[in-house]
Structure 1
Amino acid sequence: MMTSASVTPVLLGIPVATLALIVSLLSFSAALGALGWQIAKHRLDGGRPKVYLNAALWMPNSSILVNRSGKWELSTEGLHSPGCENIELAQLVVENPGRTAITVFTPGLAVEGTGKPDYSISPRGFELRTYGADRSTTETSVRLDPYDRVTFLMDYWSVVPQLLSEANGGGIQLRGCISVAGSNKLCKSRKRLAWNIPAGAWTARTDIEEIQPYTVIWRELFKANVKKHSSDDEEDGFPGFSLGVILRKAMQKFHERPNVSDFIDALRQAQREDELSELGPIMCAPLLASMDESLDRHEGHLSAWPTMPTRSA
């Protein structure tokens, strides 16, 4: 009995079945590549904000010093002295490098280390309108176009003492954070640049070892009297030079730290004596709660009570 062997089709010396397998694999690879590109394009085109947290030293109506490295430290060495009328803030920068507009809201600080479940907090913000790229807003919901950015300035020292008290003697870790419309996940600044604030911390500045009582009280008085928003027809609405003049006059009436009630009376008397003051009635009531607390927090780092505060930091 004779049998005939089947002949395998060959093309260019290669079995057709092998060629078909090669073509199938190439088609499959092309399909995976197209899928990967669609996923990448979706991520590139979609809103993907980047968040940065910087330490800042603000001299109202003058200038702002920002450490753009993201580290929790500030130094004015080699720079013009910031004077004693300054306030330490956290600068939160949000950028949208995607190709789709996004809405960001509730800027704040993500907190770790307090013994509570990780959460975020939004300190009081300040609006700066005439500071170029460092202009900031107090709006809590902002629409960002593609390749746009927004800056927030936050008074983080107003919440740090309470957060440290919740850490039971330990330190805390802060990261900038923002919520994005359509997502239930916070966008945070880089973890490796998180601010590690130890127990007993009182400043981010590395170039000073003490602070004037004048600066501590001025900060509280300034925050109580600054406008939350400036109108469209004016520049930044911050208390002017007269606020410092009145504070100095009030401090010169005492040779040592007075009680809060007596100091508030001295402030009001100094304002009545300052005929050139452009300020309205100074809001002094907040000092009843904040003056002693702030001075106590800087205990051990306060310089002597001056009769004539100098212009140093």
Structure 2
Amino acid sequence: MTRYLFVLLLIFSASLPAATIDDVTRRGSLRCGVSTGLAGFALKNAQGKWQGFDVDMCRAVAAAVLGDAEKVEFVPLKSDERIPALASGKVDVLARNTTWTLSRDLDMGISFAATVYYDGQGFMVARASGKRSALELDGARICVQKGSTSEINVRGYFSVNRMKYTAVMADSPGEALQAFMEGRCDAITSDHSQLYALRSTTPRPADYRVLPEVISQEPLSLAVREGDDRWRKVVQWTVFNMINAEYLGVDQRNVQRVMENARRPETLKLLGLHQDVGRGVGLKPGWSGRIIQQVGNYGEIFDRNLGKGSGLGIGRGLNALWNDGGLMYAPPVR
């Protein structure tokens, strides 16, 4: 009986699809789904090289798995293409401003690995308007993307606050921005991150103000195909260790020195130097240290793409570490 069960297990395991980490390793490159072009998150520079926050998340995974952050094939995806592309295997991981929601997590054949940016819908106005709060928008004309959750959220916000507004519909964020700049509406609404990105594309970004109110929950997260727990853990702990590295003060400038002198088990595990950590999912010793060496910790990635070192100038806000008033919190390295 025992031998019979063993044979059945062998047949069953042989019929299972190969783990994604094995496919990526065999291929020698990571296929990562990103936006077709969003400043600060995923956009080609003048030399044709992809750069941005989401791009660096892809590179971090490649550094962990393949030892080289440049071994990434970026696959630009439109909004309605992103989830089918991941579920069908066209990409290995999705890093494309995708909100972790109930229906997406349970019904669409994908699994969310980790939240990398806590976002939320807001409003942008011209500084000349003098408005500093969304509560001052009673009676305003609001540019909003047609058929989006933004349309639903703005309706709810104005209703709850007993204010009136006129919706000016647009087919895309770009069209909404154009209508706003032409004076056809008094404010534009979208996710805060997208508002900052849109503002950065205007001739005079300083002429526009993103108002402080956040009217929805939009945890932007990395996603993988459902059913591959090994791969989910790889992507998840790539993010977790970048957050832990910032908390522990390990960055691109000092990581080599820390690696050479590390003795404490926690530090060895953080940097992927403990022989046993990661082996069970297919990662090789040093995997986490390579992430920090080649891409950086979470704070470095945020600052150079979205924060003080970028053209967007987004404050850390909810994306600050947990010990600095934010929500960025990772399981401990022990």
TM surpasses 0.5: no
Return the structure number with greater relative CO, CA threshold 8 A, min gap 6: 2
> What's the TM-score once normalised by structure 2's chain length?
0.27
Task: Point out the structure with max Rg over C-alpha.
Answer: 1
Greater per-residue helix proportion: 2
